């Protein structure tokens, strides 16, 4: 089974801005390759990323636009649509 998060490094370049006093960051996407299968809203709209303690619990009742997966070792993330805006929810192994 292909982990959809493995597509991120090969289909785009991203710039991540992290505010070290908050558990969030702002991700600017861009330069997606033409064959990128990522949803259009992820390819075209900057999104915030929030660290959560329990990813599965945080996803309950949300509109998931990109499924939970592991973009790198010790990290799980998913993307939701909230009030029309893409939001990344991310958790780190402690």
**What is the tens place of the pLDDT at every residue in 14-53?**
444 444 444 556 666 666 777 778 888 888 888 888 889 9
Give the tens place of pLDDT for each residue, 71-85: 889 999 999 999 999
pTM to 2 decimal places = 0.72
* CB of 50 closer than 8 Å to CB of 23: yes
Architecture of domain 4-92: Roll (3.10)
Q: Residue 20's Cα: distance from chain center in Å?
A: 18
């Amino acid at each position: 089974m292909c982990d959809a998060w493995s597509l991120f490094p090969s289909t785009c370049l991203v710039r991540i801005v992290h505010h070290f006093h908050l558990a969030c960051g702002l991700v600017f996407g861009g330069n997606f390759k033409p064959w990128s299968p990522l949803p259009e809203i992820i390819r075209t709209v900057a999104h915030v990323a929030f660290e959560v303690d329990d990813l599965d619990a945080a996803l309950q009742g949300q509109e998931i636009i990109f499924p939970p997966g592991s973009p790198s070792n010790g990290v799980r993330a998913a993307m939701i649509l909230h009030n029309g805006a893409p939001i990344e929810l991310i958790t780190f192994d402690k």
